Amino acid sequence: MRTFLGISAGALIAVSLAGPAFAQGNSGQQQGFSSQNSGQHADFSKSQIQSFAEAQQDLQSVVSDWQSKINNADSKKQARQYHKQMNSKIISTIKNDGLSVQQYNQIAQASSNDPKLAQRIQQAGS
């Protein structure tokens, strides 16, 4: 479970650097799930959970590959450049797995506070 949460947090931080440009693509809509209890709990579709689980698995290799490049960079400038490239790859990976960055972030945040959701994600990734 530690790897699952670690990748979530790492990807969430990296993706958050993408900023509002990606959130704008959703026009502020929160598609595919309904909120209950004033946004404290979200019900995500089975498809979204599956997409998130697939993104988690794909992101493990992306982060691993790029982290070694960043750690072995010849300069801070090169490390920053690699970090930007990693962020772009993270974003494209999430989108290729069928989620927007905003949806990914919402599921990641919700799963850190909802053990049942985290369990659904873990089962979907099995």
Q: Is the pLDDT of residue 113 over 60?
A: yes
* Residue 22 Rama label (left phi>0; alpha psi -120 to 50; beta): alpha
pLDDT tens-digit series, residues 18-76: 433 333 333 333 444 443 333 444 689 999 999 999 999 999 999 999 998 999 999 99
How confident is the model over 75-89, as a mean pLDDT? 93
